[in-house]
Chains A and B, each alone.
Chain A
């Protein structure tokens, strides 16, 4: 059985991520220690909250994490995905991990569209991303976010539209990210976690 480490940097609902990974066939552990995490077959970078605070928590372990991605897969979820990017415009300009080129931006104001983008929306799967093996086009997944990743099409594993088309998932080498919450997206979400585990 593959081991997945969930990086715990203090906040949020990690229990659902852990149970989701377990249900999808992995041994999951929650740890704040990067050495422990690095010995796992894969790392999940979860995250809710503000970008700068999240990066602040990662600062001391960021180099180890970046080195890890050369050899093994990392899956960022929601804020965890956004932190894979180079930059974020959330409350000023902040540097991310730089594992995927591009910038995290706030949804522009538009009449008739509430922010956060909260609820179930569909994904258009763009390429051969192994994350979406066996997932039908236009499957529903659960989103909660006010910022989105603006990145080149080659890094978009899927696209979703809300106000504008945005990257609902990312891939660059071993760096994977999903803007939605697979651990909150029922059977489709569990299948995506299972696909990630299969990559390990």
Chain B
């Protein structure tokens, strides 16, 4: 009897549609996030994350429809992130059938949003997404992290999709979001995101050691070994990936079978 490590596919949505095309040629509608999520469900996904990158405010209603349809068909945990700025936004998404909401820039801008969300909806509903980037200009008030190449840096929180440094130490921020009632942390390193070189292990391990809440590793997965590293070296509780699943490099089940063979507890 063990809590298993989670494998979480992430779907990027714009105006309620999957952003990139998908390899699943047999889907009736390749752009339908619910159909894609259903496919991941069949592959054994432990949860699904919908990340809404819709820019225009008028079109944000589309995500509500997606969540409702997903919740009606999929009996597994659903997390929604992107553009959530208020308790009302959270309530709408939770009512539509989301189990967790993920907040990122809005949490940095208004940390009270974490506390109020946790108080109102419960800590288990509030995921704080933290995007980070290495900064080699050391300061007194930051946590040094040793990199495998011998250099030392600190990890700075970045916001607005990684485009703006927030000036905050990621490890300190992780502790603060925990104190404020976040139920888990979704950690994405901009250093590795999109590289397929593997997760950013030093910061993943440092954040996981610094907090008592679960940490989801995100950004950079390209091989099956990378998932194993994320759990064993990064001490992650869950691994999130998008493109490797989206483009069919491997299925969720293949990842889990690989991990199981390596002695990692997964739900098969």
Give me the interface of A with B, judged by CB distance under 8 Å: 11-16, 19-20, 23, 48-50, 79, 109, 114-122, 124, 138, 140, 142-146, 160-162, 181, 183-187, 189-190
- Decide: B121 and A140 in contact? CB cutoff 8 A: no
B124 touches A118 (CB 8 A): yes
List 28 A–B pairs whose Cβ atoms lie within 8 Å, in order of A's numbering: A11-B120, A12-B125, A13-B94, A13-B99, A14-B95, A15-B95, A15-B97, A49-B121, A49-B122, A114-B213, A115-B213, A116-B213, A118-B183, A118-B214, A119-B4, A119-B5, A119-B6, A119-B237, A120-B6, A120-B46, A120-B267, A140-B267, A144-B99, A144-B183, A146-B123, A146-B124, A161-B1, A183-B75
Q: Are B214 and A12 in contact (CB under 8 A)?
A: no
Please count the residue pairs between chain A and chain B whose beta carbons lie under 8 angstroms apart in the complex: 115
Judging by beta carbons under 8 Å apart, are B238 and A119 in contact? yes
Q: Are B96 and A15 in contact (CB under 8 A)?
A: yes
Segment 83-100 of B: residues with Cβ below 8 Å from A: 91, 94-99
Among A13, A79, A117, A190, contact of B71 (Cβ-Cβ < 8 Å): A13
A121 touches B3 (CB 8 A): yes
Q: State the Cβ distance, B257 to closest chain A Cβ, in Å.
A: 16
Q: Smallest CB-CB separation from A23: which chain B residue?
A: B75
Q: Is B72 at the interface (CB under 8 A from chain A)?
A: yes
Q: Say yes or no: A144-B124 contact (C-beta < 8 A), given A120-B267, A186-B76.
A: yes
Indicate if the CB atoms of B122 and A117 lie closer than 8 Å: no
Tell me how far the C-beta of B122 lies from the nearest C-beta in chain A, rounded to whole angstroms.
4
Q: Is the CB of A12 within 8 A of B121?
A: yes
Chain B, range 1-17, C-beta contacts under 8 Å to A: 1-6
Q: Is the CB of A12 within 8 A of B4?
A: no
User: In the complex, which residue of chain A has the Cβ closest to the Cβ of B44?
Assistant: A186
Check if B94 sits within 8 Å of A12, measured CB to CB.
Answer: yes
Q: With an 8 A cutoff between CB atoms, is B212 at the interface?
A: yes
Are the CB atoms of B71 and A120 closer together than 8 Å? Answer: no
